[in-house]
């Protein structure tokens, strides 16, 4: 069964969203948050975004481009932050979405930075730079969920709620896109989902 997808992105990356919609057969909701919801009640804001924007989606795709980082400033990122928070919010009527981060080509070199020799286990680990310089905290803190279990020196897939993929791997064909969306959907029932942070500081 195809899972319904919501896409969170910066204006500059809209063409990627269009590509996903037109070429990969993804069942998606074509909406973006573009106005502030006026309330002091955080739970109300989350519910309202879920109802009016995310509706019955179960997976949120976060397009990681050159303007999606925490360091661009909170004001600049208010909509994508709200979209991810509402996606992560586990409400009574609407359970949380899985989060799939797609690294856009301009960000490959900034995020995939080779590997390093680990002093703890003696092995090699990939250096994947997911932090304030590359993404908003709503993504990074649910990708590198802290603290790591005792004795572990690196994050494995099971230690992450967010799923990460390169644009070229995702958009290969409709089958690849579906594979990554399915993998992300399954995280909702995974035990790591209990460690999700909705509004990181
Ligand atoms: Zn290690």
Task: Provide the residue ranges of all domains of the chain, joining segments of one domain with +.
Answer: 3-195
In this structure, which CATH number among 1.10.30, 3.40.50, 3.40.1350, 3.30.70 belongs to the domain 3-195? 3.40.50
Sheet holding 98-103, edge to edge: 28-29, 5-8, 59-64, 98-103, 163-166
CA of 135 to the centre of ligand 1 (A): 24
- 192 CB neighbour count, 10 Å cutoff: 15
CA of 120 to the centre of ligand 1 (A): 5
pTM of the model: 0.96
Q: Which structure tokens are listed for 111?
A: 């995020």
Mean pLDDT for the chain overall: 95
pLDDT at 94 over 90: no
pLDDT tens digits along 28-46: 999 999 888 889 999 999 9
Beta strand extents in 16-174 (DSSP E only) = 28-29, 59-64, 98-103, 112-117, 124-128, 163-166
Alpha-carbon distance of 31 to 21, in angstroms, equals: 12
pLDDT tens digits along 131-158: 999 999 999 999 999 999 888 999 999 9
CA of 159 to the centre of ligand 1 (A): 14
pLDDT at 160 over 70: yes
- Give the confidence band of 68 by pLDDT, cuts at 50, 70, 90: very high
pLDDT at 181 over 70: yes
CA of 170 to the centre of ligand 1 (A): 28
CA of 118 to the centre of ligand 1 (A): 4
For residue 117, the Cα-to-chain-centroid distance in whole angstroms is 28
CA of 148 to the centre of ligand 1 (A): 12
CA of 122 to the centre of ligand 1 (A): 6
CA of 155 to the centre of ligand 1 (A): 9
Residue 36 has a pLDDT of 86
Alpha-carbon distance of 67 to 73, in angstroms, equals: 10
Return the axis-axis angle of helices 42-49 and 78-88, rounded to nearest 10°.
90
**CB under 8 Å to 194, separation ≥6 — which residues?**
none
Alpha-carbon distance of 35 to 67, in angstroms, equals: 19
CA of 153 to the centre of ligand 1 (A): 5
């Amino acid at each position: 069964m195809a899972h319904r997808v919501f896409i969170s992105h910066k204006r500059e990356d809209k063409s990627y969203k269009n590509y996903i919609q037109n070429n990969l057969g993804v069942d998606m909701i074509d909406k973006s948050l573009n106005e502030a919801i006026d309330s002091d009640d955080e739970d109300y804001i989350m519910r309202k975004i879920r109802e009016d924007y995310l509706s019955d989606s179960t997976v949120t795709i976060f397009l990681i481009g050159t303007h999606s980082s925490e360091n661009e400033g909170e004001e600049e990122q208010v909509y994508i932050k709200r979209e991810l928070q509402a996606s992560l919010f586990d409400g009574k009527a609407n359970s949380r979405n899985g989060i799939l981060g797609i690294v856009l080509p301009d960000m490959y070199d900034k995020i995939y930075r080779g590997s390093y020799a680990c002093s703890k286990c003696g092995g090699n680990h990939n250096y994947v730079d997911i932090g304030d310089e590359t993404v908003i905290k709503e993504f990074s803190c649910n990708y590198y969920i802290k603290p790591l279990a005792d004795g572990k020196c690196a994050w494995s897939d099971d230690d992450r709620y967010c799923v990460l993929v390169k644009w070229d791997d995702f958009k290969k064909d409709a089958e690849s896109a579906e594979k990554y969306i399915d993998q992300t959907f399954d995280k909702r029932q995974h035990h790591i989902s209990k460690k999700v942070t909705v509004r990181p500081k």
